[in-house]
């Protein structure tokens, strides 16, 4: 089983739709969680950190469920510019703090 | 922009050759991590340097080696290139923090091995 797993998609949604991605992780001792966004042939960019209490940034909401070992990303009112690959990242305690990446979920927002 | 730069942006090499990729970290960051990202895959951790010392390594063979300099810039060296080494090589700079590192990526070097 991979340490971090995501549904690769692609998710094709119309503008204005709400879309949710899940990411599961295998190590119960995982400590920190992030969502990154990567545009085609570009570098990943931090979208948001994920906190135990959940956090929201505009149209984006991230949740952490430690009991079920998954994190989620909800995008409301999708825009064309949201089209990208969304990568889930986990840091495990005592693992030299290296980031463990999912393969990413591809999102295409259509007009 | 993250302030992290990488050079060159693109590179074409042939099997068996050696390559050196360079990364300048964001001002104030003392940690540089290197990743390999093949097409359609997530980034794979190669190694990390913290204050000029290797601070963790992923599942890459010894022909992948690195350096970090006193100004915290870094190099990734790959010897005896193989076709499967063709990928986007990303470096990310960070400063260790209590809640985990927020890493800032450079634009990457796209390496093609023929």
pLDDT digits (tens, 9 = 90+) for A14-71: 999 999 999 999 988 888 899 999 998 888 998 998 988 889 999 999 999 999 999 9
Which residue is it, tokens 């104030």?
Answer: B28
CB pairs under 8 A between A and B: 59
From B74's Cα to the closest Cα of chain A, the distance in A is 17
Give bridge partners of residue B20 from the DSSP assignment. B77
pLDDT in tens, B47-74: 989 889 988 888 899 999 999 999 999 9
The proportion of chain B whose per-residue pLDDT surpasses 70, expressed as a percent, equals 94
Instruction: Please report the pLDDT score of residue B94 as a whole number.
Output: 85
Percentage of chain B with pLDDT > 90? Answer: 62
Q: In this model, does residue A96 exceed pLDDT 80?
A: no
* pLDDT value for B95: 79
Over range B17-30, report the average pLDDT: 91
The mean per-residue pLDDT over the stretch B71-89 comes to 96
- Three-state SS at A82: helix
- Please state the rounded mean pLDDT for residues B77-97: 91
Contacts of A4 (CB under 8 A, 6+ apart): A23, A24, A25, A26, A88, A89, A90, A100, A101, A102
Q: Let me know: does B50 contact B33? Beta carbons within 8 Å.
A: no
**What pLDDT does residue A99 have?**
79
Residue B13, pLDDT score:
97
Nearest to B100 among A32, A102, A104 (CB): A32
Distance CA B86, CA B25 (A): 23
pLDDT at B99 over 60: no
Angstroms from B47 CA to nearest CA on chain A: 8
Give the best residue of A10, A34, A99 to mutate against chain B (max B CB count within 10 A): A99
Per-residue pLDDT band for A106 (boundaries 50, 70, 90) equals very high
Nearest CA in chain A to B6: A43
Nearest to A99 among B40, B96, B103 (CB): B103
Which of B41, B48, B107 is closest, CB to CB, to A98? Answer: B48
Rounded mean pLDDT of A74-85?
Answer: 96
Q: Is there a contact between A43 and B42 if contact means CB atoms under 8 Å apart?
A: no
For chain B, the average pLDDT equals 90
Asked whether B106 and B38 are in contact (CB, 8 A), the reply is no
Instruction: Tell me if A44 and B45 make a contact (CB, 8 A cut-off).
Output: no
B30 confidence band (pLDDT: 50, 70, 90): confident
Cβ contacts of B35 on chain A, cutoff 8 Å: 101
Comparing CA positions, the residue from B42, B96, B40 lying closest to residue A3 is B42
B43, A97: Cβ pair inside 8 Å?
Answer: no
Query: Tell me: the pLDDT tens digits for B39-49?
Result: 888 889 899 89
């Amino acid at each position: 089983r991979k340490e971090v797993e995501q549904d690769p998609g692609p998710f094709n949604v119309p503008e204005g739709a709400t879309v949710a991605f899940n990411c599961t992780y295998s190590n119960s001792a995982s400590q920190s969680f992030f969502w990154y966004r990567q545009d085609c042939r570009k570098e990943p960019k931090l979208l948001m950190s994920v906190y135990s209490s959940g956090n929201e940034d505009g149209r984006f909401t991230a949740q952490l469920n430690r009991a079920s070992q998954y994190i989620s990303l909800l995008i409301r009112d999708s825009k064309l510019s949201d089209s990208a690959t969304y990568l889930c990242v986990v840091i495990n305690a005592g693992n030299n703090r290296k980031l463990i990446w999912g393969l990413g979920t591809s999102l295409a927002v259509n007009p | 922009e993250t302030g992290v730069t990488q050079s060159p942006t693109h590179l074409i090499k042939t099997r068996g050759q050696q390559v050196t990729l360079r990364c300048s970290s964001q001002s104030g960051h003392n940690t540089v991590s290197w990743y390999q990202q093949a097409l359609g895959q997530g980034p794979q951790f190669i190694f990390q340097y913290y204050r000029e010392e290797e601070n963790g390594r992923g599942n890459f063979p010894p022909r992948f080696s690195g350096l970090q300099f006193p100004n915290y810039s870094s190099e990734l060296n790959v010897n005896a290139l193989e076709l499967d080494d063709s990928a986007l090589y990303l470096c990310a700079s960070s400063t260790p923090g209590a809640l985990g590192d927020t890493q800032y990526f450079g634009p990457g070097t796209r390496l093609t091995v023929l």
